[in-house]
Structure formats: structure tokens, C-alpha cells
A and B are shown apart, each in its own frame.
Chain A
């Protein structure tokens, strides 16, 4: 079974630009979560999508948004990039549904650098 894939793996952007990151979950997984990892704040939950609907949201500004498609693939978007957005962005997929929690499978991440 193929694992979680994230594209691109590395990205360099300039302050003020926007960026879109992509995540393909494991086949059959309907839940996709996004996390931001930085040396100072560690791993922080951004949001979770299940069956194309945002189910949970972390404490991040509205510049961070996401969506999920009917095939469970997900994208996250960050608008008006700031230097502090430089981080490793991780996507995790799981079976989701009710009665969780479920084991989460993480992708390799997208390393975003904002200059």
C-alpha cells in the first residue's frame, strides 16, 4: 500500500506571496489532517478534513486554509506569507469516521522557507 505523499517536498517563497501544498492520503483513508512543525513551537494542529468537510480547526489565522476533494486528496493554502510561516508542513491520513481516534499516518512533509 502506498504511503501518504506530499508535494512539493521543498518550497521557497517570498513574503507576501501565497502557497498551495498538496497531500494524497493512503487509499481508503477519508480523513486528512495538517500540522505545522517548527523548532520553537513543535508540532501544531492546523485542521482536519473528513469527507470534504472541515471537521476540526486549530488556532491559526485565517490566512491558513484547506480543502479536500472527493477522492480524499487535500490541499492547504497559506496566503500573504510571513517569515514565521517557514516550517515543515505535515499531512496525516487516517480512516477517520466515528468512534476514533485512529492511527495516523504521516507524509514526509513539505519544507517551506519564506524569505
Chain B
């Protein structure tokens, strides 16, 4: 069955450093991969979408890579700030709006 793995342990980093989150998947060949941010008590917020034929995508301090051979996506936040502390979710889909989410990784940025 399809499986999406994100590091379930919290990632603690110092303010100003680069945070790198990992999303691995098996038994799946997604055409698209998306990253969302979720704060406690709130719904997820869309951050970035990357297609299978794209290797990398950037938006301000965010960068996503998508390696379909390794079946892995890396999500980077450069110059991290305490306000970046949240849970980050990766989601895969092939078409339409049916998303399959990973379990999320909690990021804590310490001042």
C-alpha cells in the first residue's frame, strides 16, 4: 500500500540556520507533491507545489526538491525564524484534488 514517511520526531534548530525536512514515499508514483504548514488548532496552509518533471522549486526562503528516483522530497527553510515553528506536511497526488498526506514533522526554531 502507499506509504508516505516524514520524520515524526520534532526538528529543533537555532534561529538563522537552515531547516531541512524530509518526505519519503513508497508504492506510489505521484505526479505532484505539495507542502503545507499547520499551526496548532488551525487548518493546513499551502506553501509550495512541485511537479514530477521539476527538480527544484523556490519561493522566498523556501526551497523544495523532488527526486522521483529516490522517491523523496526535501523541504528547506533558509534563515529560519521562530515564527517558522509549526508542523510541516507533505502531500502527494496524481490528479485532481485528492491528496495523500504524510504524518508531518514538527519544526521548532529557537531564538
Report the count of interface residues on A (CB-CB < 8 A): 26
CA distance A44 to B4 in the complex (A): 12
- CB pair B46 A45 closer than 8 Å: no
Contacts of A4 in B (CB 8 A): 43
Question: With the chains together, A96 CA to B96 CA distance in Å?
Answer: 7
Chain A residues near B49 (CB, 8 Å)?
101, 103
A56–B45 CB distance below 8 A: no
B100 sits at the interface (CB 8 A)? yes
Q: Is B97 a contact partner of A56 (Cβ separation < 8 A)?
A: yes
Of the listed stretches A14-22, A60-68, A73-81, A106-114, name the one at the interface; the rest are far from the partner chain. A106-114
Q: Is B97's CB under 8 angstroms from A100's CB? A: yes
- Bound-state CA distance A103–B95 (Å) is 12
In the assembled complex, the CB of A58 is this many whole angstroms from the nearest CB of chain B, namely 7
> Are A100 and B103 closer than 8 Å at their CB atoms?
no
Chain B residues with CB under 8 Å of A33's CB are 97-99
For chain B, residues 36 to 56, give those with C-beta under 8 angstroms from any C-beta of chain A: 36, 41-46, 49
Contact A101 B95 (CB under 8 A): yes
Whether the Cβ atoms of B97 and A108 lie closer than 8 Å is: no
What B residues does A106 contact at CB under 8 A?
36, 43-45
Chain A: CB-nearest residue to B31: A101
10 contacts between A and B (CB under 8 A): A33-B97, A35-B99, A43-B99, A43-B101, A48-B96, A96-B97, A101-B32, A101-B96, A104-B46, A108-B42
Q: Which 4 A-B pairs have the closest CB atoms?
A: A106-B43, A43-B101, A56-B98, A103-B46
- Additional 16 contacts, C-beta under 8 A, given A48-B98, A92-B97: A4-B43, A35-B101, A42-B102, A42-B104, A43-B101, A55-B96, A56-B98, A90-B43, A94-B97, A96-B97, A100-B96, A101-B32, A101-B34, A101-B49, A101-B97, A104-B99
